[in-house]
Amino acid sequence: MDIKYFDNAATTKVSKEVLEEMIKYFSEEYGNPSSMYTIGRSAKKAIEKARKKVAELINCEPREIIFTAGGSESDNTAIKGIANQLKNKGNHIITSKIEHHAIIESCKSLEEQGFKITYLNVNKEGYIDLTQLEKEITNKTILISIMAANNEIGTIQPIKEISKIAKEKNILFHTDAVQAVGNIPIDVKEMGIDMLSLSGHKIHAPKGIGALYVKEGIKFKRFIDGGHQEKNRRAGTENVAGIIGLGKACQIAKENLEQHMIALEQLRDYYISQVEKNIQGVILNGTLKNRLPGNANISFKDIDGEALLLELDQKGICASSGSACTAGESTPSHVLKAIGLDDSIANGAVRISFSEENTKEDVDYLVKSLMEIVESLRQKS
Ligand SMILES: *Cc1c(COP(=O)(O)O)cnc(C)c1O
């Protein structure tokens, strides 16, 4: 069966151009970048080229980019690395209730070590409250970490306003921008971001490669100890092919950003309007203003989202009932809880996340399938 893939917030397909650039770094240019001979040096050179491309996408200096094994490692490094570095200065970190598990669980593990964490509430649309953020800051606060865009409901936070508050109080600001980078404009200088996490597999590069941006001059305890790679900031022989792939994906993302956003917004808005027109009892979760271009999260009343997903799978459709990380659990995701959804509404949520490979015809097939499945599931219940 033809697969209709609508789960690009969970992962994306490696693009052809990305794969093509990577291949020779498995088979011909397989040297260790730390080695002195030619194939080692050329791998090193290719890494530095890729670093420049990543830096250009978010407008930072190449030396401010550290390659990691993905978004989760970048998040862990930022949270734990700053906590350990600044523990003599303070033990308080502010984050939000709707962060990715990589942030939430990093904070939980710091709590066990005596750190105090404030998890900010969000409103119905998924925004944090800037006044509450200001109120929660103490003279022990060392870090504010707020995601740029949410992976489940697509809400984009007012990053510039958050960074302004952090700066005024002389507190470091980290953002998990894994869903934002490549999907909306991100400029770390203009937005006042001190640290930023991004991941390859959410932007058509492979899984297991990511990057952490750390503004020049900011010190943190490194997360992986070992050799001198990445200027002593992240040990381990570099994932050369992955890095090359990430660089290429960032280059494409930068070149295509505007048309990418328009294409995804069109698919998203068409999908939402078709569902609202053709299916009764639906609720759009999140907000239409400041929403990721490719994200649509809709609750179907009196429907079990998991059951709906299984039926969609029978029709070759890949979607998510919230976050892939919480799939399998039948309890509503922490994000849908945080925006105040009743359990019954949260359980009926389906997240659709588009890529440029999706077409209007794909959306028609999706909506038609949803109409049939929702009707039959509602009749059974
Ligand atoms: C996917 C994701 C991560 C984790 O990235 P990995 O590369 O899968 O470890 C972190 N934060 C957000 C918002 C994500 O969507």
Residue 178 Cβ inside 6 Å of ligand 1? The answer reads yes
For residues 58 and 198, is the Cβ–Cβ distance under 8 A? Answer: yes
Cα 219 → chain centroid: 24
Reported as a pLDDT band with limits 50, 70 and 90, residue 381 is confident
Mean pLDDT of 276-286: 98
The reported pLDDT for the residue numbered 83 is: 98
Quick one: which atom of ligand 1 is closest to the CA of 102? 10
Which phi and psi angles does 14 have, rounded to 5°?
-65, 125
Report how far ligand 1's centroid is from the alpha carbon of 87 (Å): 26
Which residues, at least 6 apart from 41, have a Cβ–Cβ distance to it below 8 Å? 31, 35
Q: How far apart are CA 68 and CA 79, in angstroms?
A: 14
pLDDT bracket for residue 324 (50, 70, 90): very low
pLDDT the model gives residue 162: 98
What are the DSSP calls for 180-192, one per residue? TBTTB---HHHHT
pLDDT tier at 223 (50, 70, 90 boundaries)?
very high
Mean pLDDT, to the nearest integer, of 85-99?
A: 98
Rounded Cα distance, 346 and 217, in Å = 43
Check if 70 has its Cβ closer than 6 Å to any atom of ligand 1: yes
Q: In which band, very low, low, confident or very high, does the pLDDT at 328 lie, cut at 50, 70 and 90?
A: low
More confident residue, 329 or 156: 156
Q: Which amino acid is at 216?
A: E
CATH 3.40.640.10 fits 16-252, yes or no: yes
Q: What percent of the chain has pLDDT above 70?
A: 98
Q: What is the rounded CA–CA span in Å between residue 203 and residue 254?
A: 11
Q: Average pLDDT, whole number, for the chain?
A: 96
Q: Tens digit of pLDDT for each residue in 250-269?
A: 999 999 999 999 999 999 99
Q: Where in the chain is the domain with CATH 3.40.640.10?
A: 16-252
Task: Tell me: pLDDT of 311 over 60.
Answer: yes
Model confidence band, residue 325 (pLDDT cutoffs 50, 70, 90): very low
What single-letter amino acid sits at 256?
N
- Ligand 1 atom closest to Cα of residue 202: 1
Q: Is 99 in the pocket of ligand 1 (CB under 6 A)?
A: no
Identify any residues that bridge with 194 across adjacent strands, giving them in sequence order.
Answer: none
Q: Find the mean pLDDT for residues 340-363.
A: 96
Catalytic residue ranges: 325
* Amino acid identity, position 341: L
| Sequence-distant (≥ 6) Cβ neighbours of residue 298 within 8 angstroms | 272, 275, 282, 283, 284, 285, 349, 350, 352
% of the chain surpassing 90 pLDDT: 96
pLDDT for res 1: 77
β 282-284/210-214 pair status: unpaired
- Tell me if 100 CB under 6 Å of ligand 1: yes
Class of domain 4-12+257-380: alpha beta
**What's phi and psi for 235, nearest 5 deg?**
-75, 160
Q: What is the mean pLDDT of residues 85-91?
A: 98
**Residue ranges matching CATH 3.90.1150.10 in the chain:** 4-12+257-380
For residues 253 and 250, give the distance between their C-alpha atoms in angstroms, rounded to a whole number: 5
Ligand 1 midpoint to CA 268 (Å) = 21
Residue 371's pLDDT band (boundaries 50, 70, 90)?
A: very high
- pLDDT tops 90 at residue 331: no
Q: Is the pLDDT of residue 322 over 70?
A: no
Which of 7, 152, 202, 353 has most ligand 1 atoms within 8 Å of its beta carbon, as the pocket-test mutant?
Answer: 202
Q: How far apart are CA 166 and CA 309, in angstroms?
A: 41
User: Is the shortest distance between the CB of 286 and ligand 1 below 6 Å?
Assistant: no
Summarize the confidence of residues 97-117 as an average pLDDT.
Answer: 98
Q: What is the rounded average pLDDT of the residues 311-319?
A: 97
* Dist. CA 100 → ligand 1 center (Å): 7
Band (pLDDT 50/70/90 cuts) for residue 329 is low
- Comparing 229 with 380, which gets the higher pLDDT? 229
Residues 136, 165: contact at Cβ < 8 Å? no
> What does the pLDDT average to over 170-183?
98
Q: Is the CB of 72 under 6 A from ligand 1?
A: yes
Ligand 1, atom nearest to 147 Cα: 13
Candidate from 77, 98, 179 with most ligand 1 atoms within 8 A of CB, to mutate: 179
The rounded distance, in Å, linking the Cα atoms of 248 and 69 is: 17
Residue 380 has pLDDT above 90, yes or no: no
